[in-house]
Amino acid sequence: MQSSNGGWGAFEPENTHLYLNNIPFADHGALLDPPTADVTARCVSFLTQIGMPADDPVLVRALAFLRREQEADGSWFGRWGTNYIYGTWSVLCALNAAGLASDDPTILRAVKWLLSVQRDDGGWGEGEDTYRDAPPGRYHESTPSQTAWALLGLMAAGAVDHQAVARGIDFLMATQCRGGSWRELAYNAVGFPRVFYLRYHGYRWYFPLLALARYRNLRRGNAKKVAFGF
């Protein structure tokens, strides 16, 4: 299922004939399933979890793909979740699982980007208009799921003791509803970029819980090498 460029798509390999998106009645301009950073990150995380070494040719090609896909600002595009915060979290967890050092330039650029888009309230948020021409990682409010993604990414990058992480944790603690959940009305996932978006209601529950649990465990001395930030 790995494509020749080292990445993975969601459904099949080598689905990269992007000109087909321009034919009449193409499915929302997303007719194809090219390899993406977020899906590739999931595969890298899985393969490392089952014991594949980072010097295996499969992972060497995959990690090279992820390095090439990094945006100039340090982020990664997110195809299946909104958007660059999601992609950056996904890749940082994969790089951590593959054993890259926290001072690797690729990781440092990603951390710098996440820090640059943290909001004044300590959280993170990103709107669907970033799939068009809006600045990556920006929104008019912080959301629980995207704050959790940013925190999980930063912690996977070795920044658990950074003040930005403490501020993000404080945001999640302060915005938790009395019943234990979090309020999130923004769309947080993608059907077709620029056309069709989704709101997964579970995201506002389990991603904040994952981030809070990971923060607690790291502060208690838990292992720093993880797959998805767990």
> pLDDT tens, 152-182?
999 999 999 999 999 999 999 999 999 999 9
Residue 228 included in any domain: no
pLDDT at 202: 94
Tell me the whole-structure pTM to 2 decimals.
0.92
CATH code, domain with 24: 1.50.10.20
Residue 187's domain comprises: 18-219
Residue 224 included in any domain: no
Residue 4 included in any domain: no
**DSSP one-letter string for 145-167:** HHHHHHHHHHHHTT-TTSHHHHH
The dihedral over CA atoms of 161, 76, 144, 160, expressed in degrees to the nearest 10, equals -10
> pLDDT tens, 20-78?
777 777 667 677 889 999 999 999 999 999 999 999 999 999 999 999 999 999 999 99
Q: How far is CA 73 from the centre of its chain?
A: 15
> pLDDT tens, 90-115?
999 999 999 999 999 999 999 999 99
Three-state DSSP at 81 gives strand
The answer to whether residues 226 and 156 touch, using CB atoms and an 8 Å cutoff, is: yes
Residue 8 included in any domain: no
Q: Check residue 194 and report its DSSP letter.
A: T
pLDDT at 27: 64
The answer to whether residues 80 and 39 touch, using CB atoms and an 8 Å cutoff, is: yes
- In sign, the C-alpha dihedral spanning 114, 116, 122, 125 is negative
> pLDDT tens, 191-201?
888 888 999 99
Residue 60 included in any domain: yes
Q: Could you give the number of structural domains in the chain?
A: 1
Residue 230 included in any domain: no
Residue 120 included in any domain: yes
Residue 129 included in any domain: yes
